[in-house]
Chain A
């Protein structure tokens, strides 16, 4: 930490800092540099995503060919796939761990962790995070959480299998299913570590954004990703502790015989002694986090796509203030909508009505964001970089998945749709696919900043089109299964006559999922190959305005040699009339762009307006330049 203070004082022209020797361990493992930590989060996130995707392919195989035997499954999974068929208990473990990894480890840590760490200091003009040590701890807690979660695959009774929401009593009573034994204990430990990691990260992000912005970077000059990370971090800080409270109570119930969530339970004829608890309590505590959590997942993706869409449309983001206010609206509202996950759990129906109102209100800021994206594209000059393709894909998924939310948020319609494949289709589009696309857009866009090299664009194109098409092929048909009343988390569709007609659809969906999974090989190859062999990145490959592109391509500790650049303008001056280039970086003062300044730019600063007027009188604009 002392380095940061030192950096401000000395000049950075001499490459050797002298005061502080970097070893392999301090540079790559226990690094306190935000850029390295971002890479650690990203690579861990990618590995976890590949694992979770692999799990999903396993259960998709089971759903498509429930009667067929796949000997290779037994080779890998042993007794969980005896005779080459996945067992019912293990199927549930697969869906549970797939969900947990994707929601928490990939889309929370992998997305927020990566891009908050990378972009917050670089885009607001700070040398590093407010608290680099805490930042390092945040990564290592996350890493431990991942290891512990994965270790549950190596125990006798298998991983937790009560669904990623781990509703008690199923997850608490060890006799209810094998996964509720040791596997569930590991799940809970992993989750506590994960929440600790998120909190350390979140506190760091908020304090960095509030305290360490460079000169001129007032809140309304921050790029939209920073706004998104800021509000996401606040959301996380306020909601994650509630999950820990819930988890601690669950640990008590499981290990110390308390009855917070249990009452009146008979397993077979074995009467459990617990009395007075309520399983609904867990659902309230869980969803008090769980619902903000889905916005923790999507908001950074929205922030990233705002930036990417604006840069590649060569146009300012439409309605910058509206974008920020809608993020704030989503943040606030997301705390009072958790009950829509519980319309049919036996919660008082009066509450159901209230939660329906708040839930549907949240569609308004979401609609505003969508329309603003469309307006940004309108009359743009769109460059289809891989990042831009993924950002457009995100908008498409956000619309498709968001609209089905209007069905599910309506308590009366939820009666018949709750816990069916309609829900699966809905959230995989709106928070699964959309957030993953946001993350991929971010990776393609900021890869040059992270690794100093470019990714191969053509492989990126291939990756996008295959994934985009496959994702729709997977999730669109699933809506119809839900509308036919097929519940989710069913091991096989063979026991019900009315579900048999969907077996062929399941085969189709599985093939599409396999296609999507294989398309990721293009990404993985591209990613790891480009780290070492990619073309060396130019200073500002996308011709973007934000501060991170002014930092040297080769990473240095402290980000900028010499003084941190000063910011003079908002980050979205693209294609400003009167200026020769189609972008004006934030570091360019208005005095250098007299020909393109607008009265609005001076925010009521009379003196500056006067200077501008004088200049305009002295340099009359030629009309009808064309």
Chain B
């Protein structure tokens, strides 16, 4: 019986060989094109490339190839069996070796990732609290990398060493309370350290005592689909009240100009902040939840409709410094949206410019107030400018000042 099986299998084997000859030329070539497509220089194959059938054919060819290999293995094993030799392939050894190989290649891969992709990351934090976060990150990275590598060496190492052997019996070892206590307590201690450090860092970021002589610069940022609006506090240093019910086409943020603090509030098309001075962000949203994310400064907080959120930070590097450090003359600080908010989520950005105190002062003096003549009428305020500064040109540039906002809306 087994002989007959053997013969029929020989026929299959012969067929398989023939098929392999046919299929190989095409299968190998096409496989190579699959593998190479990502890296190889682009050969314009036009329509063929786009055609789904082409890919389906490639896939079927690969399947055929695999089926042939599978059949050949089976033929080999059956022929071994027919000859009364031990079973063809020791799969346990194959997998054990593959795990060992995977460990070696994997460790190299991790090293490669850490060095190559690891060098493409954000530059060092450009804010005071960001440095603490970076330190915390590095500490966590070191600890987790050690654990990661050690446990994987054990996992794949044990898989390799203790692969199946008919001669051996496993070691009956159901438990060891001492060892278990050790590996409960050690992670607990390490985590306690991390928790404590994390907790202290977290406190230092969100619980700040305000120094009356050194008040932070208030900046309000309002998000909506899909743009940001920035409001500077003006001369009084206080961002005035808002009420969403006052929102109109001319008063898009719904600023309440009955509040005296609102009247000198200024609009800006980019966020310009003086280096080394604390900035207190007041974050609000008009429509859905967005997330104000400023990766270079390690700042992120959601903007929530109906609720103000606050984040205080101190920039430590100017844009110019950063351009030098990163060797990139086009480097810009940015903030962007990190919470899914609709179809334009992927493009909600504004530039942040960190400058010296002097530059900031000249820049802020040039910014326009939100309050213009139309709004004055609306709020029954005297059309004659309340603030002495920028009196003469306010009417002339009013319309111009609204425009950048609308442009942004159309983006």
Contacts and interface: CB of A to CB of B under 8 A. Distances in A.
A316 B174 CA distance: 5
B244 A360 contact: no
Contacts of B199: 353, 356-357, 411
Interface residues of A, number: 127
Contact of A572 (B165, B174, B332): B174
B184 A278 contact: no
With most chain A CB atoms within 10 A of its CB, the pick from B38, B164, B247, B291 is B164
Contact of A411 (B130, B137, B198, B224): B198
B173 A315 contact: yes
A518 B162 contact: no
Nearest to B205: A412
A92 B345 contact: yes
Contact of A322 (B109, B143, B180, B291): B180
B95 A389 contact: yes
A166 B174 CA distance: 46
Nearest to A259: B306
B169 A582 contact: yes
Contacts of B296: 485
Given A169-B305, A176-B225, A265-B287, A380 B346 contact: no
Interface stretch (B144-152, B261-269, B356-364): B144-152
Contacts of A406: 140, 143-144, 191, 194
B21 interface: no
Interface stretch (B317-325, B336-344, B373-381): B336-344
A79 to B, nearest CB: 14
B9 interface: no
Contacts of B340: 92, 162-163, 167, 170, 488-489
Contacts of B206: 349, 352
Contact of B300 (A316, A344, A352, A575): A344
Nearest to A485: B295
A484 B162 CA distance: 40
Contacts of A575: 169-172
B175 interface: yes
A318 B299 CA distance: 44
Interface in A352-393: 352-353, 356-357, 360-361, 363-364, 367-368, 370-375, 377-384, 389, 392
A278 B338 contact: no
A399 B148 contact: yes
Interface stretch (A108-116, A490-498, A614-622): A490-498
Contacts of B287: 169, 173, 176, 265-267
The 10 closest A-B pairs by CB, nearest first: A485-B295, A263-B306, A349-B206, A384-B95, A264-B306, A480-B117, A379-B171, A346-B309, A575-B170, A487-B338
Interface of A: 69-72, 87-89, 92, 162-163, 167, 169-170, 173, 176-177, 262-269, 271, 277-280, 313-322, 344-346, 349, 352-353, 356-357, 360-361, 363-364, 367-368, 370-375, 377-384, 389, 392, 395-396, 399-400, 403-404, 406-407, 410-413, 415-416, 418-420, 457-459, 461-462, 465, 468-469, 472, 476-477, 480, 483-485, 487-493, 495-498, 501-502, 505, 507-508, 511, 518, 521-522, 572, 574-577, 582
28 contacts: A170-B342, A265-B306, A279-B304, A313-B170, A317-B174, A322-B180, A349-B206, A353-B202, A361-B191, A367-B187, A368-B184, A371-B183, A373-B155, A374-B158, A378-B154, A383-B92, A400-B148, A404-B144, A410-B140, A412-B202, A415-B299, A416-B122, A419-B291, A459-B70, A472-B109, A477-B117, A485-B296, A511-B37
